[in-house]
Structure 1
Amino acid sequence: MSVTTATPKVSRHVVVGAGLAGAATAFSLARRGHEVTLLERTRPAAHDGSSHGSARIFRYAYPERFYTDLVVRAREGFDELERLGGRRLITPAGSLDFGAARAPRLLAEVLAAAGVEHELLDRGAAQRRWPQLSFDTDVLWHPGAGVIDAETTVFTLVEQARRHGAQVEQDWAVQRLERTRTGYRVLAADGRSVDAERVVLAVGGWLPSLLDELPLPAAFRAQVPALQVRQEQAYHFPYREQPAGPDERAPLPTFIHKRADIQTYSLPGGRDADFRGQKLAEYNGGKVIRSAAEQDGLVDAANRERIVRYVERFVPGLVPEPYAETTCLFTNTPTEDFVLDGVDGLTLLSPCSGHGAKFAPLLGELAADVATGGAGPERFTLAALSGATAAEAVHA
């Protein structure tokens, strides 16, 4: 590869990664009046990242108020973004939570305390209302949940960031960062570079392989939690009763089912499924890889068979034969909490563990606070994460 040595571009802030988190951060910084450059390895909402496609769950149910309250705030951000962009980003679908390990009654208590509309049904009542599913416990229903169009959300965030003056650079793969007298030099493999006072890294599953290329103080680096990257797999199963078209509500809502032997999540597949099927996957059922660079896109046959058997037992409203399948990336922390912390003008942002999409607009605001010298939630700091244990996981 030929290497150029062009004069570095200069920007007050650089955000690396144009997925949901990075695009939201760039938008938040730009509309506050900051000079921002958003660098993306390939294209915004890249297919091999964590923010592609049209189907992510938006839901309020968490076993503690901390996250539910954040969802309430995030919904306000999505509503604003829909108004600004003139596009629907969350399609109403509602959500069901069931399974002994999911603790529907506890979730109902949290939603009640947070003022979120919900209903707790016994198994029989739920079965009569949703005969397409087989329930094994009481069931929590909350109608305010839905399906996030992740790709369109990223595109809208990037568009709004540009409208506020942000520069967006595609095909710009960051190789390393170097300290300079005024901040940092962000370098690409081909010799391009950008000098910035402050840098936000929102690189998803690429963060583990990039950490050693960052000029982090040793004490800060030592607190970064173990980041486990998984290549997850998801399957699309056809509905037994097909909707008439893309504008008709899907036959099934979103749901999370958690048992001692398996945790699954499911949602209407939208564009990803040609509007004719339900997306279904096992949470953290994929293989562990060192970083996103090692993903191969291959679906594990044993996992496919496991999910088919699950559909046969618990989802009679679906034909137990997947017509499409895909892989995606989860980047997990031991507690399933997010990483949002900074030092010396360098901010790490990793909305981890497969439940970050629903917080995107709010995370952009929180990351912009940290990037400009403020503070984010204490729970997401490295000090808090390093003092927590896996037993304290939120099990999102």
Structure 2
Amino acid sequence: MSATRVDTIVVGGGAMGSAAAWHLARRGVETVLLERFTPGHTNGASHGSSRIFRTSYADRTYVELAREAEQQWAELESESGSPLLTVTGGVDQGFTPYLIQIADTLADLGVDHQWMDPAEASERWPGITFTDRSLYYPNSGRLHADHAVAALQQAAITRGAEVRHESQVISIEVTADESVTVRTADHEYSARRVVVAAGAWAQKLLHDIAPLPPIRVTQEQPAHFAPRDPSADWPSFGILHDPDAPGAPEFGGIYGLSSGVEGVKVGFHGVGPVVDPDHRDFTAEPRQFAALQDYVRQWVPGVDADAPTPISCTYATTPDSNFVIDRVGPVAVAAGFSGHGFKFVPAIGRLLADLTIDKDAPTLFSFRSHSAEKVL
């Protein structure tokens, strides 16, 4: 087996790993990115045409990270020449106590937002049913996931990184001198640092290395729905429900956004069937998919609920839905993005590059924080 010495290996060529490789290459670090699948594959969580971008969180850690990511998406667009972020505005309605928390955090941080009454929101977006006041965010929008991953990898390559597809990592071993040996089927790498951003495969690769919290891998099944008025404007949107309220929907609320020519993407959040990422059927669970269509008929009348095009992706969700971004010795880890990580991608790449020079990520994302959560 051939062997190579390199400063930093990145394991996983989805969005997070590709962003880490970009940031490392920008810093002049010798970097090799290893991805087990072909470019543009649909096996994980980083493919497709649309992901929501928003800064609307109740926790200021996420708001600040999203604002950093917003600047870095613009930098990547400039560097790659590829348009990635389309600003459409975004609106949430439903569980008012949580929306008030979001509004308070945004006000504290000076992020633009405004309350809208149902009549005003309905007039602006007649394709969505509004029953209570909603919270509007002018800077929200959508990201093109496929184009973003391709842009990150090309930008990393341009700055000197090497990207190797169809290179499945089969083992990671920390050696006595705190370096790392990474093996694929036909190659062995020795590195000063390794970044592991393996999505749904994180626990399979890291079970003997990192103290990950339990991560639930699910196959999510949103769909694209044809808009009844192709010229209508669509914000990104969320419809939230108090899970303890009488008559709350079985599968919770929904999220949605325009995917351009593909229609309007609508889906439940994090309630798909648990799967092994190596043994998926990519087929929507019939009862849950029928429930999504029923929900769309009631809450998103501007699309044809009877003309869906199913989508399949994975979520890797932690018990509290907070990310894991931390390190164990020379191994930096990114995992558990819980279906809401894509908007932060370039900023998370920066955090991962920082971990390789022994800087810390926010405490919220640490192994210790997740251990505390499990005990409480």
TM above 0.5: yes
Q: By how many angstroms is 1:124 displaced? A: 2.6
CA contact under 8 A between 2:9 and 2:31: conserved in structure 1? Answer: yes
Q: Distance in 2 between matches of 1:181 and 1:283?
A: 43
Distance across 1 between alignment mates of 2:227 and 2:370? 41
Q: Is the aligned partner of 1:267 residue 2:257?
A: yes
Residue aligning to 1:186: 182
Where 1:128 maps in the other structure, the secondary structure is helix
The aligned residue for residue 258 of structure 1 is 240
Q: CA–CA distance in 2 between the matches of 1:81 and 1:11?
A: 25
Write the distance in 2 (CA, Å) between the matches of 1:196 and 1:379: 28
Q: Of 99, 107, 113, which residue of structure 2 is paired with 1:104?
A: 99
Is the alpha carbon distance of 1:102 and 1:85 closer, same or farther for their aligned partners in structure 2, counting shifts above 3 Å? farther
Q: Does 1:355 align with 2:355?
A: no
Q: In 1, distance between residues paired with 2:295 and 2:94?
A: 13
The one of 213, 234, 239 equivalent to 1:225 is 213
Confirm or deny: 8 A CA contact 1:23 1:158 kept in the other structure. Answer: yes
Contact 1:227–1:333 (8 Å) recurs in 2: yes
Name the residue aligned to 1:328: 313
Q: How far off its partner does 1:203 sit?
A: 0.4
What is the aligned counterpart of 1:313 among 294, 298, 302?
Answer: 298
The answer for the alignment partner of 1:154 in structure 2 is 149
1:286 aligns with 2:267: no
Q: How far, CA to CA, are the matches of 2:334 and 2:293 in structure 1?
A: 35
2:223 corresponds to 1:238: no
**Among 185, 190, 215, the residue aligned to 1:195:** 190
Query: What amino acid maps onto 2:303 in structure 1?
Result: L
Offset of residue 147 of structure 1: 0.6
Query: Where in structure 2 are there 5+ consecutive unaligned residues?
Result: 244-248
Distance 2:334 2:309 in 1: 32
Equivalents in 2 of 1:184, 1:344: separation in Å? 10
Aligned residues: 367
**Which of 206, 212, 215 is the matching residue for 1:211?**
206
Q: Is the 8 A contact 2:125 2:233 kept in 1?
A: no
Q: Quote the residue 1:337 is aligned against.
A: 322
2:160 counterpart residue number: 165
Match of 1:139 among 118, 134, 143: 134
Amino acid at match of 1:228: R
Shift in CA distance, 128/22, structure 1 to aligned 2, threshold 3 Å: same
Gaps of 5+ in 1: 244-249, 392-396
How far off its partner does 1:181 sit?
A: 5.0
Q: Distance in 2 between matches of 1:389 and 1:257?
A: 28
Distance 1:384 1:236 in 2: 36
Match of 1:18 in 2: 13
Equivalent residues of 1:268, 1:278 under 8 A apart: yes
Contact preservation (8 Å) 1:239, 1:251:
no
Q: Distance in 2 between matches of 1:309 and 1:238?
A: 15
C-alpha change, 1:356 and 1:377, in structure 2 (3 Å) is same
2:115 aligned residue (120, 126, 131): 120
- Structure 1 distance, partners of 2:97, 2:301, is 21
Q: Which amino acid aligns with 1:224?
A: L
Verify the 8 A CA contact 2:90 2:235 in the aligned structure 1: yes
Q: What's the counterpart of residue 394 of structure 1?
A: none
Paired position in structure 1 for 2:246: none
Asked if 1:90 corresponds to 2:74, the answer is no
Q: Secondary structure at the match of 2:221?
A: strand
Whole-angstrom CA distance in 2 between matches of 1:107 and 1:341 = 26
Read off the aligned partner of 1:229 and give its amino acid letter: V
Asked if 1:40 corresponds to 2:25, the answer is no
Q: CA deviation at 1:148?
A: 0.4
Q: Separation in 2 of the partners of 1:387 and 1:364?
A: 25
The equivalent position to 2:286 in structure 1, one of 301, 307, 321, is 301
Question: Counterparts in 2 of 1:46-65, with a 5 A limit?
Answer: 46-65=41-60
Runs of 4+, deviation exceeding 6 Å: none
8 Å Cα contact 1:241/1:251 also seen in 2 = no
